[in-house]
Amino acid sequence: MKGIGSLLVGLLLMQSVVAQTAQTLNLPALQRQGQLPIVNRDVSPVGRADSSFIRLSETNGEGLVWVPVSTSVNSIVEIEMRGKDVFQRSFIGVAFNGLNDTTYEAVYCRPFNFFAADSIRRIHAIQYVAHPAFTWKKLRESQNGLFEKPIPNAPNPNNWFIMKVVIREKTIEAYINDAAQPALVVNRLSNQAGNKLGLFVGDGSGGDFRRITVTPVR
């Protein structure tokens, strides 16, 4: 019994350490304070103080909103976001390990493909990229099916959902909501030393984002 008690104490201590180091960012508050560098989008807070979020506008090209926290390998990033079920108008996710506004990795979802009647489109529900060398188009042409996957038990494409991205030295895993199994597991295509973290939207897409949490892991 003493050994079990010690084990439980150890687990509680580990959980406490994780809780102390996790950072959850209130995106609407940061936007109002002018602490979110914005790339190729307009951003506005929406809603009441207790249920507000930020909305990124739709325009050509990728858009980014960098947040005031850095991350690199051995991190978990959770992002609460909402797209829409409109064909080719919803690409939403997270950019990480960024060096600048054009060099970064990202994992993003295409909500309009979550429940598409076309089975090929459903395979393109979640995507990993490493810009500028490995765009979605290059990866689909050269390694089709390796860096984008369907999402089992996908959420409503018009509702809020959470994407959790586990960043390791050589691999990326992405989970949707409370799924026990990852929707996407890939080998990283970049070893860049950048540590910028931000919101990502694809060409022509806007999106709604509520919060982002970053947790270092061992």
Q: Where are the domains of the chain?
A: 24-216
Work out the average pLDDT over 34-40. 97
pLDDT in tens, 92-150: 999 999 999 999 999 999 999 999 999 999 999 999 999 999 999 999 999 999 999 99
- Separation in Å, CA 214 to CA 19, 46, 66, 78, 118: 11, 23, 13, 7, 35
| Percentage helix, strand, coil for the chain under 3-state DSSP, each rounded to 5 | 20, 35, 45
Determine how many CB atoms are found less than 10 A away from the CB of residue 216. Answer: 15
Residue 5: is its pLDDT beyond 80? Answer: no
d(CA 83, CA 156): 10
pLDDT in tens, 85-99: 999 999 999 999 999
Q: Domain 24-216: give its CATH code.
A: 2.60.120.560
